[in-house]
Homo-oligomer: A and B are copies of this chain.
Amino acid sequence: MESQEPKVVTGGSTLMPLNYSSNRVMLKTILEGREEDGEIGFVGHKVVIGGWVKSSKEVKKESQPSPPPQPAAADAIPSSPGPKDVSCVEIIQSRIPFFRTIIRVLGGSASSPAVREKLESLIPKPPPSSTFFLQINDGSCVSNLQVVIDSAVTPVPAGQILPTGTCILAQGVLEKPSAQGKQTTIELKVEKILHVGTVEQDKYPLSRKRLPLDSLRDYSHIRPRTTTVASVTRIRSALDFATHTFFQKHGFLHVQVPIITTTDSEGFSERFQVTTLLGKPSKKEETIGVTDADAVSLETVKAAIKEKSSLVEQLKRSDSNREALVAALQDLRKTNELAKQLEAREKSKPKTAVKPDVVNFNEDLFGRQTYLTVSGRLHLESYACALGHVYSFGPRFRADKTVCPKHVAEMWTVEVEMAFSELEDAMNCAEDSFKFLCRWVLDNCSEDMKFVSKRIDRNLTHRLEYLITSSYEKISYREAVEILRKVTDKAFETQLQWGVPLTAEHLSYLADEHYKRPIIIRDYPKAVKPFYVRLNDDGITVAAFEMVIPKIGTVIKGSQNEERIDMLNTRIKEFDLSKDDYEWYMDLRRHGTVKHSGFSLEFDLIVLLATGLTDVRDAIPFPRSHGKANN
């Protein structure tokens, strides 16, 4: 359906429509509007709103006007049997002309009135007048707006307006809700529907029931429509702005370090290569003559099988609905067949792009091997050694095959570098910036924090308050090892001795069990930290630190970097690195060297911390991990 040009319909100066959006008023503006003497100030205002249906209810006019509509619950994807039923009615309605034809034909030939009567009884009666109660959300806030539509007003049948996920743009008047016993304080009485974007219910992944977060990962393009992922997105965006605000406020300049690099800035991680040498795959692939198989990907089908299997199991257990079980089994069988076809097609796909006998990197676009950056700190140093305090905020990459809830292949990282500064300075800046981010979400995202606290982790706000106000324990690596070696009631997987890296298990013991608060561990053995970290006077440890937060692990890694050229030379040799690659970096020591320090903050882990989530794949819009890059 085409939307019509909406008129300006704001009722007063306080209810400003959103810019660049067809005079639409954000629901946040309406729902979080000022209350006056216990009443919402916007009652009586005429507005345009838009959003997607989260849940709905049809109330027949003949029947009692109030079985009250579902409360504006902040459910991600509530189960909605209502729309499901309505959609069956709808299908029959759409067949009415066809039924009538049959009856006319049969009625003409069959003279018996009994037959005609029987046939007439098969035709559904035209739908009675109804009121639709929709819970609409536009992504601006957690709460939904209750939108009341008289069936006379809708330009489309009920079955097209009620399903979860339907998009609505409507004009109406804000009213106090008429029905009793509801949680909503304001609703929109629709005068005109300007646009309806329908849903293909059988294909819509969010239509059936509330999916767990790990299932939602298969629908990264659709999941922001769930209340949880929407909340996480808003918190993430707020944290993003908070990051820039903190550093700009403290006199840091933002420097965009390169993503494509020839320098290995870290030395410990597998890197992705960037190239133009591998050819394109052939665009047209053999079709196997299966229409369905053209429309969907194997991944989607596999996810559907998982879902459908669990439905079958559920139905088997409930025992109440034999027909539904048969239907579900048939559906599952069909989907399994589709998966087989797709798998066959996958195998027949040409796997090769080019067959190069020799990969000559001189012919690559940059004339040499280039990689996706693992860390921008070395590049950032070159700006720190000219401009003082600098930071960078961007994506960093590790070609890691292990699947881990705290790390994926592409993660956003804040990197900081400060000239004229030492290890203590970096530790202080790390702690301050971290506390600032925690404070920011509490101050600026109260509604979302309330929601994620309720849905994900009830202790969230309390924990953040604690992180902001507590002082962080500072210990050396040596002390950490001593504490861990004394542990007798717990067997660690990795046996600990001085010199080995601390594992997540060790860190968790220290922060969660021993100190029960954030800790900063400093002065690591030189072999476990990158070559550029400054050698301490003892000759065996380096000026590195890690900030470890209970339940999350290491969120910040920092160091004072080696400013002495002879020492840096030695370290490069010790690490067996190609000296040529670091000539540019050595220049910063050759010419006007200065003590400097900095750190990397794993932004995605801060989002976990602020939302209570436990897996970064739920916090990153389109996560990339081993075998997973689908759009």
Contact = CB atoms under 8 A, between A and B. Distances in A.
Interface of A: 3, 18-22, 24, 26, 28, 50, 52-53, 138-140, 165-167, 169, 195, 197-200, 203-204, 220-222, 224-225, 230, 233-234, 236-237, 240-241, 244, 248, 250-251, 253-263, 270, 272-278, 281, 283, 285, 294-297, 300, 351-362, 365-370, 372, 379, 382-383, 385-389, 394-395, 397, 399, 401, 409-410, 412, 418-422, 425-426, 428-429, 432, 563, 576, 578-580, 583-585, 587-588, 590-595, 620-622, 624, 626-631
Given A199-B592, A361-B351, A593-B197, A630 B262 contact: yes
A428 B262 CA distance: 41
A628 B199 CA distance: 49
Contacts of A167: 385, 592-594
A250 B19 contact: yes
A428 B20 contact: yes
A119 to B, nearest CB: 36
Contact of A139 (B254, B356, B387, B579): B387
A237 B254 contact: yes
Contacts of A275: 272-273, 275, 278
Contact of A199 (B198, B294, B352, B590): B590
A408 to B, nearest CB: 10
A420 B295 contact: no
A259 B259 contact: yes
27 contacts: A3-B595, A18-B389, A20-B250, A21-B420, A21-B425, A22-B425, A26-B251, A50-B420, A140-B387, A167-B592, A203-B587, A221-B379, A236-B256, A237-B255, A258-B410, A258-B621, A259-B410, A260-B629, A261-B631, A270-B276, A272-B274, A273-B275, A281-B369, A283-B578, A294-B580, A366-B624, A379-B622
A629 B261 contact: yes
A283 B388 CA distance: 34
Nearest to A565: B200
A406 to B, nearest CB: 17
A621 B262 contact: no
B260 A410 contact: yes
Contacts of A50: 419-420, 594
B590 A365 contact: no
A592 B621 CA distance: 20
Nearest to A239: B254
Contacts of A294: 579-580
A359 B355 contact: yes
A257 B429 CA distance: 28
A386 B195 contact: no
B367 A627 contact: yes
Contacts of A412: 256
Given A276-B272, A591-B222, A621 B259 contact: no
A366 B626 CA distance: 5
Contact of A591 (B169, B204, B428, B429): B204
Nearest to A363: B351
A240 B260 contact: no
Contact of A256 (B18, B261, B621): B621
Given A52-B386, A295-B583, A365-B399, A197 B563 contact: yes
A24 B621 contact: no
Minimum-distance CB pairs A-B, first 6:
A139-B387, A224-B386, A167-B592, A197-B593, A366-B629, A221-B382
A197 B594 contact: yes
Contacts of A221: 379, 382, 584-585, 587-588
Given A297-B580, A425-B22, A251 B140 contact: yes
A591 B225 CA distance: 11
Nearest to A576: B283
